[in-house]
Amino acid sequence: MGVVQVQLPDDLKQVIDRQVAEGHAASEADFLTQAARLYADHLDAENEISVLVERADADLAAGRTTMVATPEDSNALHHAAMARLRARLAGDATGH
């Protein structure tokens, strides 16, 4: 396990101390480990969103769009998306 030493501004140190005192973290190290994991998860989510936006932009530029003008259109789009999701989840469950 790696070790990182940092100096924190007093206001952040007080936040950490308060969270430990209130039982939200077992220790300062535990709090900072949790915070770093959450931040890493946040960065991963941002990257995933960027990829999705790039794909959506490419689809729009290529004319791959779906017109949703009626409740029936919306329902059909929803069912198609759910079918793709179920297929993807089934593939993930089988290791594909």
> Which residue pairs, CB below 8 angstroms and at least 24 apart, start in 41-44?
none
Say whether 29 sits in a helix, a strand or coil. helix
Mean pLDDT for back-to-back runs of 10 residues, the chain (96 residues): 94 98 97 97 97 96 94 96 94 76
Question: What local confidence, expressed as pLDDT, does residue 2 receive?
Answer: 92
CB 59 within 8 A of CB 66: no
Question: What local confidence, expressed as pLDDT, does residue 93 receive?
Answer: 78
Question: What local confidence, expressed as pLDDT, does residue 96 receive?
Answer: 62
